[in-house]
Structure 1
Amino acid sequence: MKTVLFILLGSFTFVTAQNHNVLKKEITPPEAIKITKELKAHDQVRIDDYYWMNNREDPQVISYLNSENEYNEKMTAHTKEFQTKLFNEMKSRIKEDDKSVPYKLNGYWYLTRFEKGKDYPIYSRKKESLDAAEEILFDVNEMAEGYDYYSLGGLNVSPDNKLIAFGVDTLSRRKYTIQIKNLETGEILPLKIETTTGGSTWANDNKTLYYTKKDDQTLRSNQIFKHILGTNPSNDQLVFEEKDETFNTYIYKSKSKKYLIIGSASTLTSEYRILNADTPEGEFKIFQPRERGLEYGISHFEDYFYVLTNKDGATNFKLMKTLVDKTEKENWLEVIPHRDDYLLEDLDIFKDYLVVSERHNGLNKIKITRWDTNKSYYLPFDNETYTAYTSINPDFDTNILRYTYNSLNTPTSVVDFNMATKEKTILKEQEVLGGNFDKDNYTSERIWATAEDGTKIPVSIIYRKDIKKDGKNPLLQYAYGSYGSTIDPYFSTARLSLLDRGFIYAIAHIRGGEYLGRTWYEDGKLLKKKNTFTDYIDVSKYLIAQNYTSSEHLYAMGGSAGGLLMGVVVNMAPELYNGVIAAVPFVDVITTMLDESIPLTTGEYDEWGNPNNKEYYDYMLSYSPYDNVKRQDYPNMLITTGLHDSQVQYWEPAKWVAKLRDFKMDDNILLLHTNMEAGHGGASGRFEALKEVAEEYAFLLDLEGITE
């Protein structure tokens, strides 16, 4: 590789002023050299001048990323004090010595708590009674000492309550090392199982542990192994290998504790294998062989498996059941039929009740049915900007359903609901400290924008009641719009720092998610993907037309696949936005999707299309943000990434910024911040993550001339 040169010239001064455009910046951003790389496919040649950045081991790449970070630091130096203020403000609203609502499992109450001033949780349990002595399982603050990044996950207690398996990631590549702790002695066993998902599942014999290995390069979850306590992990038995590169695999135990279940899943297809958890020496049996386009999920109860499936064209899914010894699809019997206006999302099974999580007209619904009478009712919710979902419900033999509720202006509550008496007990309400928060100071609403094809796009929105709709309000518009993932309206204490400074916040429920059912997703993927982007733009135009804001005060934000959305939007309609935040953005679509060695690529073909097929190649090329950068004005932009990101490789945003610097015709701000210690999810500590939010908010507020 040629020597990579970049230039960091000039001095840097600021003249205090209310508007960022008045600030004098005498600094030249890093300038990456171009090394021409020809990328050929379908008799076409694309030129990538920054392909050389695709190597995190190259010290010259690291040097370039550091130079961008230095530039970002200098360009935002005047906001550092404000960032600190925002961080302290957001931190001050959080109850630092907080704890979760305990739940009971197999004779123990489990809880998670935080101590004041500490970044990481403490996991503990109490035997039988909440008044019993606390047994510390893990103090993650102690475990994380000396690490820039630390993630503990996959906590899994053995059936006899004597052992706990757990996974640790200290790099943020989501490659976890599984270990086991003896809860009787406190000893962490010398066993270390590398390159796993972090999760694991015990058989009922308390000595057999199943876990999922990842491919070291692609990070695809592709193998299920069985470990016997006391043996060398190099001798662990391979139980199942998922050889189809478009699938991932995983293992879990049914809520009934009777079955071990291996799942295999791609975007469009699923398959399960089952084994009695009492007989880990046995062979897993296929539940229903995979068929392309057939999706299903299984839950066990008594003599039946309950199957949530799209079988026979049930686009929004239906619920079926089948005897445990007759699991093939021809034996499935309908329990809840398919409905065009209700999306079935999940179910919780109890001894006397079936609880189904549904979505109707975009809103969460929780339906409760008695097994013996088949009588049903819904939990009542009273607005259009809320999120409600069932919580941890490990016990079969109970009348109590635990669920969680919050809305754009209502902090999170954890509720125990008696399904027999219909009485509810609020176990915990999220505290917003500081004494200044009153939910009645804010208005939340759901509005509907009209897309260019006539489709109505729902938008959840919140703002202070004293806001006037005069087109002068700063507004942050957020969206995701991929994988059928729905961004429900949710409460955020951090967001109050924007709202209380006059910002309006809007979530655009664009196609590509499942807010309005499965067809909402289908209409925003593959060869209909552009609906996602035009929906977002049309929502922006609507918000401007309705005087919520104006293009001088409108800001866009999205992350990961939502970062792809940001990349397309600034190419298509840059004039609509004063500023854009693109977090860990997936912007080099064609190059990534043609490289099967990159994590996630092969499993994404059913989402974006396989560019080895020319039809998909041409369509993806028509919107790929990196390939469509053009000579035009772009908004002010803050782009963030993580060096160790396993989901979207750091070089995508890095290359994108370099190309934008070369092509854009304006003098607007363009910043790249690479977290050199973290990956896709950002910093690991709860307060370190707030510093990243403070950086983003300071960027937006600075563009508005708001400095306090």
Structure 2
Amino acid sequence: MSACPVSSATAGELRPPAARKVPHQRTLHGERFEDPWFWLRERDSAEVRAYLEAENAYTDAVMAPTAALQERLYGELVARMKEDDESVPYRRGGWRYFTRTVKGAQHKIHLRRPLDEGPEQVLLDLNELGRAEKYIALGAFEPSDDGTRLAYSLDTTGFREYALHVVDLASGRPLAAPVRKATSVAWAADGGTLFYTVEDAAKRSYRVYRLKLGAEAPELVYEEGDERFTVRVERARSGAWIFLAVASHTTSEVRLIDAAAPGAEPRLVEPRTDGHEYDLDHSGGSFYVRSNAAGRNFALYEAPVAAPGRASWKLLRAHDPGSMLVAVQAFARHLVLTERAAALTRFRVVELPGGADHLVAMPEAAYAAYPGPNEVFEASAFRYLYESPTTPDSVLDYHFAERRSELLKRDEVPGYDGTRYEVARIEATAGDGARVPVTLVHRRGLALDGRSPALLRGYGAYGYPQSAGFDPNLVSLLDRGFVAAIAHVRGGGDLGKPWHDQGRMAAKMNTFTDFVACAEELVRRGYTAPERLAITGGSAGGLLMGAVTNLRPELFAVVLTYVPFVDVINTMLDDSLPLTVGEFEEWGNPQIPEQYGWMRAYSPYENLAAKAYPAMLVRTSFWDSQVMYWEPAKYVARLRTLKTDSKPLLFKVNMDAGGHGGFAGRYDRLRDVAFDYAFLLTQLGIEPAGR
């Protein structure tokens, strides 16, 4: 690990682009803020595009000496991918559906074969559909009950703008004109009526339509006027009901449509009240309702189909302050409850009728688990997905009667031996005394002498947990002596809904100080040292990266940040942008003085200062619909004028073929990972750039 970083010297010899300053002031609540890079939001400007291309050229020039290293890393990553592979089929109606990947092809092929094991049928080949596109991603994929028709949606820009298509599967003939900006879809029982939702100009899903195939035009069923709320449609697993769900970040309500009578008006279950969230599933004569009326971690209720309102709810499982009820899946004779406690997901099986319950056993102390495709209502088993930092992605069936999990498939990772690595769970103490979990993976026999490099990941927003899953790409770092760590900071949902509440709105600063505490704990225990510690996060996790590098830049050596939400105040002032109004309930509304104060204290763009920063690689996508490209562009431009160090600040923009998650193609994604790892390894002095 004695190789010297070479990219810094290269970066110092080259001149980075300097975005032109155009006077622009923002005056709010008595504060005037100079924002001379505000003009970078002009997407159609030739000057903007030229600046972004110049940043790409500079980044490529700085990274040119790492070309051989990138190629070697790419070879490692591809070698761990089983290029020819198939997923475990799942049953739906009279068919088994599955996907296939083929060596050299970027995307999945979606297929099915009949239950009698007749010939397979190709339904969608994304490689063929995307042949003339720079980007392609599949959204909805919904066969009709009889399996004769398919509703599916495609995004071909990366802007998460999906076009809905309905086809006859025997002939491939379109059955309706494509629908732009479709967001969710559900078939009625007749196979000829389709419900779907569409988004508005701010990418808010706001209308529900009913399309009778062969009719001249769809019929508007519902329109949501409150800009905080979005709508979606979903078919119950029982097939009996279509749920029309309306939700903000803090409040929800559900309407019901009888799937056998699709022309009927939707029936409201329980009117919305501020702060009350609920959803439901159906089995037999009952709905099973998940509600936070009794506590933030939700409780479980049963309601009769004939009168499903709150007045009829019967408590089945009380609110538990130590465990969050995340989801309820109803089957003919069982419920499966997804719960989260101690930053781990677990499944609880409840028998119907009677209510006796038990937990599904998990084999490791740190892991990630998710419900799989469970399309059969009369199922005797529950399909779930399992992984851990050392266990590749696995598909299992839990057999209800035998209380036994059956492994159906574990992803093959050529050359990988999980016994060479070990997983640990530690805790860091935040400034207010909160105990923040940290999950670690590293090679066995690691010496806790502070000499190991480490990569610490974080997110901390929207109540989304950071699951301790498997990443085959990380093996390239683990085998070079890295410790890979996840900080389960507040703002995420790792320890339930109160954990989220303690890292949002007025309490948002906890997210950032938690992450700093986790980094300090890694150093204190000898896992790494500040000069060997890299950090990474994307989207709201990119906000986290920006905030902590402003707070404690000396604690980190390298930052890898992806589509970072760093221009918080300007974005939350612009209600024409996607997500803004709905997210007032996560971040606050800067038009309100108190809430402006919360954001002003941490917003990365405003809090940049004249001081030394870590080496940084900032990535974004020109067509990202969630965090606009100009946020990181402005951040980089401003930081270039302030930083007092000579360490590299690189900005890489996917101009044509990427969205919020980067490239859609699997080989393209690995090229990006190889690039990022080359930057990381050379900046930490682990690999010389020219080797």
TM-score range, shorter chain: over 0.9
Q: How does 1:320-359 map to 2 (within 5 A)?
A: 320-359=301-340
Conservation of the 8 A alpha-carbon contact between 1:17 and 1:23: no
Alignment match of 2:192 (pick from 195, 207, 219): 207
Task: Find the partner of 1:124 among 96, 99, 111.
Answer: 111
Out of 541, 553, 563, the residue aligned to residue 562 of structure 1 is 541
Structure 1 runs (4+) deviating above 6 angstroms are: none
* Equivalent residue number for residue 32 of structure 1: 19
* Superposed CA offset, 1:397-453 (max 9, x none): 1221111111111112211121111233211011011x3x21110010100111111
- The equivalent position to 2:233 in structure 1, one of 248, 251, 272, is 251
Query: Quick check: 1:704 aligned with 2:684?
Result: yes
Establish whether residue 107 from structure 1 lines up as the match of residue 94 from structure 2.
Answer: yes
Show the 5 A alignment for 1:463-542. Answer: 463-542=442-521
Aligned to 1:289: 271
Deviations 1:264-313 (A, max 9, x none): 1111000111110111211111111110100001101111111101013x
Q: Is the 8 A contact 2:175 2:214 kept in 1?
A: no
**In the superposition, relative to structure 1, how do residues 411 and 458 fare at CA in structure 2: closer, same or farther (>3 Å)?**
same
- Cross-structure match for 1:306: 288
Q: Whole-Å Cα distance in 2 between the matches of residues 703 and 469 of structure 1?
A: 22
Q: How does 1:53-68 map to 2 (within 5 A)?
A: 53-68=40-55
User: Are 1:574 and 2:574 matched, yes or no?
Assistant: no
Q: CA deviation at 1:18?
A: 3.4
Q: 1 CA distance for matches of 2:354 and 2:194?
A: 40
What corresponds to 1:50 in structure 2?
A: 37
> Are positions 1:144 and 2:130 aligned together?
yes
Deviations 1:7-53 (A, max 9, x none): xxxxxxxxx96333774441110011211111122233221110000
Tell me the amino acid that sits aligned with residue 533 of structure 1. F
SS at match of 2:663: coil
Partner-residue secondary structure (3-state), 2:368? strand
Tell me the amino acid that sits aligned with residue 130 of structure 2. A
Could you tell me the TM-score, scaled by structure 1's length? 0.95
SS across alignment from 2:393 = strand
Q: Amino acid of the residue matched to residue 475 of structure 2? A: L
SS in 2 for 1:469: coil
SS at match of 1:540: helix
Aligned to 1:172: 158
Q: Is the 8 A contact 2:8 2:648 kept in 1?
A: no
Q: C-alpha displacement at 1:531, in angstroms?
A: 0.2
Letter in 1 for 2:213: L
* Displacement after TM superposition at 1:482 (Å): 0.3
SS at match of 2:677: helix
What displacement does 1:189 show? 4.4
1:603 aligns with 2:582: yes
Cα distance change, pair 189–59 in 1 and its aligned pair in 2 (3 A): farther
Q: What amino acid sits opposite 1:286 in the alignment?
A: L
The aligned residue for residue 395 of structure 2 is 414
Tell me the equivalent position of 1:10.
Answer: none
Q: Does 1:19 align with 2:1?
A: no
**Structure 2 match to 1:9:** none
1:430 paired residue number: 411
Q: Does 1:278 align with 2:274?
A: no
Which residue of structure 1 aligns with residue 210 of structure 2? Answer: 226
The reply on whether 1:368 has 2:353 as its aligned counterpart is no
Moved more, 346-355 or 596-605: 346-355
Identical-residue share of aligned pairs (%): 39
State the AA in 2 paired with 1:703.
Q
In 1: Cα distance, 2:403 partner to 2:443 partner: 34
Task: Pick from 224, 235, 242 the counterpart of residue 224 of structure 2.
Answer: 242
- Mark the runs of 5 or more structure 2 residues left unpaired by the alignment: none
CA shift in 2, pair 1:630/1:410, >3 Å: same
Q: Distance in 2 between matches of 1:283 and 1:572?
A: 54
SS in 2 for 1:60: helix
Q: Does 1:381 find its partner at 2:359?
A: no
Q: Which amino acid aligns with 1:160?
A: D
Please give the alpha-carbon distance, in whole angstroms, between the structure 2 residues aligned to 1:404 and 1:551: 36
User: 2: distance between equivalents of 1:96 and 1:144?
Assistant: 19
Structure 1 CA distance for aligned equivalents of residues 8 and 494 of structure 2: 42
- Secondary structure of 1:381's counterpart equals coil
Q: Equivalents in 2 of 1:205, 1:189: separation in Å? A: 15
CA distance in 1, matches of 2:544, 2:13: 32
Give the whole-Å Cα distance in 2 for the aligned partners of 1:411 and 1:431. 8
Shift of residue 515 of structure 1?
1.0
Q: Deviations over 1:142-185 (max 9, x none)?
A: 11102111112201111221110111111111111111121111
Relative to 1, partners in 2 of residues 1:229 and 1:548: Cα closer, same or farther, differing over 3 Å? same
Corresponding position of 1:78: 65
In structure 2, what residue type is equivalent to 1:508? A
Shift of 1:370: 1.6
**Amino acid of the structure 2 residue aligned with 1:90:** L
Deviation at 1:120, TM superposition (A): 0.7
**Structure 1 Cα separation of the partners of residues 409 and 469 of structure 2:** 17
RMSD: 1.4
Map Cα deviations across residues 68-113 of structure 1 (whole Å, 9 max, x no partner): 0000000100112211221121111111111111011111111111
- Trace 1:590-669 onto structure 2 (pairs within 5 A): 590-669=569-648
CA contact (8 A) 1:20 1:704 kept: no
Q: Tell me, in whole angstroms, the C-alpha distance in 2 between the residues paired with 1:394 and 1:166.
A: 17
Specify the SS of the correspondent of 2:470.
coil
Look up the SS of the partner of 1:628 in the other structure: coil
Contact 1:559 1:582 in 2 (8 A): yes
Q: Does 1:162 align with 2:162?
A: no
Deviations 1:615-663 (A, max 9, x none): 0011111111001111111100000000011000000000000000001
Residue 694 (structure 1) aligned with residue 674 (structure 2): yes
- What TM-score results when the alignment is normalised by the length of structure 2? 0.97
Partners of 1:58 and 1:44 in 2: CA distance? 30
Aligned residue type for 1:33: R
Q: Secondary structure at the match of 1:463?
A: strand
Distance in structure 2 (CA, Å) of the matches to 1:604 and 1:316: 21
Once the two structures are overlaid, the 10-residue window that deviates more, 485-494 or 156-165, is 156-165
Deviation at 1:547, TM superposition (A): 0.8
Find the aligned partners of 2:325 and 2:423 in 1 and give their Cα distance: 26
Aligned amino acid, residue 685 of structure 2: G
Deviation at 1:188, TM superposition (A): 3.6
Q: CA deviation at 1:697?
A: 1.1
Alignment-derived partner of residue 684 in structure 1 = 664
Q: Distance in 1 between matches of 2:205 and 2:109?
A: 28
Deviation at residue 242 of structure 1 after TM alignment? 0.9
* 3-state DSSP of counterpart to 2:58: helix
Residues 280 and 328 of structure 2 are in contact (CA less than 8 Å); yes or no, is this contact kept in structure 1?
no
Q: CA separation in 1, counterparts of 2:644 and 2:200?
A: 43
Correspondence for 2:373 among 371, 383, 392: 392
Q: In the aligned structure 2, how far is the partner of 1:675 from the partner of 1:20?
A: 25
Distance in 2 between residues matched to 1:30 and 1:266, nearest whole Å: 41
1:190 is displaced (CA, Å) by: 6.1
Q: Helix, strand or coil: the match of 1:204?
A: coil
**What is the CA–CA distance in structure 2 between the aligned matches of 1:408 and 1:489, rounded to whole Å?**
6
Q: Secondary structure at the match of 2:225?
A: coil
